[in-house]
Every structure is written in structure tokens, then in C-alpha cells.
Amino acid sequence: MVIHPTPLHQAVILEMQPILDNRGYFVRSFCKKTLDDHGISFDNVQSNIAYNRNHGTLRGMHFQLPPYCEDKIVSCIQGSIYDVIIDINRESPTFGKWFGITLSENNHMSLYVPKGFAHGYLTLSSNTSIHYMVSNYYAPSYESGVRWDDKTFGINWPLEDNLIISEKDKQWQNFNMITDGIILS
């Protein structure tokens, strides 16, 4: 696994390295030691798979509030997605900035999303499956989010029309840079 920086504080890209043979490939999808060696302590307590039937499905932008903030490792194991994170950690040097990357079954990239980030994605193909590991348990009453199309961040989504979005995700509010955000310390 090769670890690449992103423009956002503490968020990194994990590039998996498949070993090919005549049957297909083998790839290590998570290695605690490699992350530890890079100063990332990831304690996986739950792993999830989300399946999306249609191209143009958007889920986001989600986070859990303290004390249930979570680190995530997001991978696309079928199809492809545009994966987006926003740094909403008030104490971060990149507070308010966003980053996006295509994750696909072919490019073997995963995104490590630290606590204090909002996360979401848009499917770029039909029949898309996302696998993500999280470092905290699901806590429905601590769920929160911001709007995917919040002008505060100006996310450059590859598609913006006729998206499939849950009623819950349509109801998130815009972010206020003065009053909103997470304080982890």
C-alpha cells in the first residue's frame, strides 16, 4: 500500500497494489501496520457496504458529532464514484476546504477520511458498491451533515442534474464558517 498526501490536513490517499496472475489479482485492502508506520492510528470497529443501483446517486455530506466522530477508509469495489471530503475541523489549517477523487474498482485507490471531515460521494456508473471501514459505531442521534451543493465550499461535482438523493440528504443545511464545525480537542 502506498500512501499519498491530499491537499487537506491529515487526509490521505491509499493506493493499493494488486498482485496479478493468470487467475486475476490479490490485493491487501487494509493494513494496520502500514498505517501505524505513517502515524495513522485506525481502529476499525465496523465495516459497511453501500450498493447504488444507479449512476448519478449522491450520498452526503455526512459526519458524526463528538463524541462519535469517526475516521473512515472508503473504497469502491464495484463501479466508480467521485468521492468528496470537506474539512470541517475548526482547528485544522485546511478548515473549510474540500477535496475530491475518483475511486473505482480499477484504480485501487481508497481515501482515508479523518475525524472532523464531512464525507460524500456521487456514483459515476450504475451498480456501484462502496466498502468503508469506520473507527466508531453508528450513532443515529449524533448523525449530521451539510448540503452537497453548499456554495460555501463550491464542490465541483462531475454531475449536478437529475441526481438521486435521499430525503434526509436534501434536508441538510448550508454550513456557516463562523459558527459551525467540529472541535475535536
Chain positions contacting ligand TDO, by CB under 6 A: 48, 50, 59-60, 62, 119-121, 138, 166, 168
- Which sign, positive or negative, has the C-alpha torsion 29, 66, 115, 40? negative
Nearest-approach distance from CB 143 to ligand TDO, in angstroms: 7
CB nearer to ligand TDO: pick between 22 and 130: 130
The reply to whether 138 belongs to the active site is no
114 three-state secondary structure: coil
> How far is 161 from 81, CA to CA, in rounded Å?
16
Nearest-approach distance from CB 116 to ligand TDO, in angstroms: 13
Annotated catalytic residue, options 62, 68, 131, 142: 62
Nearest-approach distance from CB 170 to ligand TDO, in angstroms: 12
CB nearer to ligand TDO: pick between 35 and 118: 118
> How far is 92 from 142, CA to CA, in rounded Å?
21
The reply to whether 132 belongs to the active site is yes
For residue 16, whether the previous peptide bond is cis, meaning omega lies within 30 degrees of 0, is: no
Strand 128-134 to strand 24-26: parallel, antiparallel, or no bridges (unpaired)?
unpaired
Catalytic positions, written as ranges? 62, 132
